[in-house]
């Protein structure tokens, strides 16, 4: 019988991330539809709390590699742990969430196991004649549906592409697996985490709304002056009031290297588009951004789109947004923030 193994790493708070639960949901669906066994593989400093959280997922086995040296991301120990779990389960399919930890090791893992790996998978379906995956090519312009004959097939599922698994907690008996990490694989030591943003985390993949700022926020306005500090305070205020995620156009994040007025809360990690990211928030609001194709292509998965721009002929006006407000974003956001601040807290 085929076995689907879901690989997850445990978070710092001993729980599981939403992306892990999404991958678990997909693994469970594909195992059930294909009549395969489901096995859970956990990696982390301590596993019991996380395993108990997913006790009701229907897995026939819960295995794990536990210990302080598996509590943080490092190629040498992560791949050793993943390989040990895979060798104990001998799965036909391995599914993992698209975290930086798993994205980094899956190619090596597939190589060690004699299988194949696919990353950036956006859909996984148990079809007649075997499972299929969907992924995008050429910067999200072409979609392909693929099958593979090689086994094990290691699949890394992007976040936001499947409903997270929910179900009963319980008490799980974990089969602990020993992973040997050679000394040479321990040369990297994680000494801390440096957050990319100054003081405030602005990239929030789980937020309902994506707020995008464009270079217009730093351009001279109708009074002949640029108002970058006010722009920054309006954007920061909106993020605090809504918990939206912050995206940017390339022009805005490139300004710092051109020595122009900048928004200090923005880094290249915020960039959306062809050479940036392709987020999956339900709604998006673009402000002071022209909506050119290399930027708008990054909005492919945003279902409801609105934009504020002074220019009625901007790119957004050409069918790229559901609603375009031809207006001054400074005025609009001042008003929006005032209305949000006056709203009773939910
Ligand atoms: C190979 C390649 C890859 C690229 N990849 C990306 C990418 O990944 N992501 C990306 O974003 N770009 C990318 N670009 C660049 C892209 O083509 C645009 O140059 C960029 O998106 C423009 O950014 P912008 O709209 O913020 O700035 P601008 O083009 O300068 O537009 C500013 C806008 O702000 C508006 N505005 C000004 N003041 C106000 C106000 N008060 N209220 C309302 N609106 C106002 C203006 O009307 C204008 O439309 C790429 C380009 C190339 C060639």
Q: How far is the CA of 250 from the centre of ligand 1 (A)?
A: 7
pLDDT band at 259 (very low <50, low <70, confident <90, very high): low
Give me the mean pLDDT over the 238-255 stretch: 94
Q: At what angle do helices 228-242 and 329-342 cross, to 10 degrees?
A: 40
Task: Return mean pLDDT, the chain.
Answer: 93
Mutate to test the pocket of ligand 1, among 250, 255, 275 (most ligand atoms within 8 A of CB): 250
User: CB within 8 A of 261, min separation 6: which ones?
Assistant: 218, 226, 228, 255
pLDDT in tens, 164-210: 999 999 999 999 999 999 999 999 988 887 765 544 678 888 899 99
Predicted confidence at residue 206, as pLDDT, reads 83
Asked whether the beta carbons of 60 and 5 are under 8 A apart, the reply is no
Give me the mean pLDDT over the 54-68 stretch: 98
Q: How far is the CA of 296 from the centre of ligand 1 (A)?
A: 10
* Residue range(s) occupied by CATH 3.40.50.620 in the chain: 3-186
Q: Which is it for the CA torsion 44, 45, 48, 52, positive or negative?
A: negative
Asked whether the beta carbons of 57 and 23 are under 8 A apart, the reply is no
* Cα of 317 vs its chain's centroid, Å: 29
Q: Is 281 a residue whose pLDDT tops 70? A: yes
pLDDT in tens, 74-109: 999 999 999 999 999 999 999 999 999 999 999 999
Task: Give the Cα separation of 240 and 291 in Å (integer).
Answer: 25
Instruction: Name all residues whose Cβ lies below 6 A of ligand 1.
Output: 214-216, 219, 221, 249-252, 271-276, 288-290, 292, 294-295, 298, 308-311, 314, 328-330
pLDDT in tens, 12-49: 999 999 999 999 999 999 999 999 999 999 999 999 99
pLDDT band at 255 (very low <50, low <70, confident <90, very high): confident
Residue with tokens 């939403």: 18
Phi/psi class of residue 199: alpha, beta or left (left: φ > 0; alpha: ψ in -120 to 50)?
left
Residue with tokens 């001054």: 328
Predicted confidence at residue 217, as pLDDT, reads 96
pLDDT in tens, 296-338: 999 988 999 999 999 999 999 999 999 999 999 999 999 999 9
Q: Which secondary structure element, helix H or strand E, spans residue 142, and what is its range?
A: strand 142-146
* Residue range(s) occupied by CATH 3.40.50.1220 in the chain: 209-342
pTM over 0.85: no
Q: Is 67 a residue whose pLDDT tops 70? A: yes
Nearest in space to 82 (alpha carbons), one of 137, 164, 6: 6
What CATH number is given for 3-186 in this structure?
A: 3.40.50.620
Asked whether the beta carbons of 265 and 197 are under 8 A apart, the reply is yes
Residue with tokens 């929910």: 166
Q: Which architecture does CATH list for 209-342?
A: 3-Layer(aba) Sandwich (3.40)
Residue with tokens 């499972």: 131
Nearest in space to 258 (alpha carbons), one of 198, 218, 231: 218
Percent pLDDT > 70 in the chain is 95
Task: Give the Cα separation of 6 and 28 in Å (integer).
Answer: 9
Predicted confidence at residue 318, as pLDDT, reads 94
Q: At what angle do helices 75-89 and 100-113 cross, to 10 degrees?
A: 50
């Amino acid at each position: 019988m085929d076995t689907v193994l879901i690989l997850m790493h445990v978070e710092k708070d001993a729980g599981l991330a939403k992306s892990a639960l999404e991958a678990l949901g997909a693994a469970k669906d594909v195992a059930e539809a294909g009549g395969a066994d489901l096995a859970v593989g956990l990696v982390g400093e301590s596993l019991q709390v996380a395993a108990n959280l997913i006790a009701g997922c229907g897995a026939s086995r819960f295995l794990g590699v536990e210990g302080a040296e598996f509590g943080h991301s490092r190629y040498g120990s992560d791949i050793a742990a993943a390989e040990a779990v895979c060798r104990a389960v001998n799965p036909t399919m391995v599914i993992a969430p698209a975290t930086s930890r798993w994205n980094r090791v899956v190619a090596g893992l597939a190589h060690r196991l004699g299988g194949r790996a696919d990353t950036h998978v956006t859909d996984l379906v148990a079809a007649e004649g075997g499972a299929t995956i969907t992924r995008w090519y050429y910067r999200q312009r072409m979609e392909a549906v693929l099958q593979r004959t090689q086994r094990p097939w290691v699949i890394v599922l992007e976040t936001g592409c499947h409903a997270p698994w929910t179900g009963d907690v319980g008490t799980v008996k974990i089969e602990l697996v020993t992973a040997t990490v050679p000394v040479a694989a321990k040369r990297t030591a994680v000494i801390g985490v440096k957050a990319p943003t100054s003081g405030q985390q602005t990239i929030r993949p789980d937020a309902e709304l994506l707020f995008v700022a464009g270079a217009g926020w730093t351009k001279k306005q109708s009074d002949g002056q640029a108002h970058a500090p006010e722009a920054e305070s309006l954007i920061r205020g909106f993020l605090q009031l809504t918990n939206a995620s912050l995206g940017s156009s390339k022009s805005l994040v490139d300004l710092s290297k051109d020595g122009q007025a900048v928004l200090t809360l923005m880094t290249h990690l915020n960039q959306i588009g062809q050479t940036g990211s392709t987020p999956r928030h339900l709604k998006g609001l673009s402000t002071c951004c022209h909506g050119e194709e290399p930027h708008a292509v990054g909005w492919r998965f945003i279902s409801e789109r609105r934009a504020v721009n002074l220019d009625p002929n901007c790119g957004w006006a050409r069918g790229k947004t559901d609603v375009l407000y031809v207006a001054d974003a400074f005025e609009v956001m001042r008003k929006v923030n005032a209305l949000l601040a006056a709203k009773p807290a939910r």
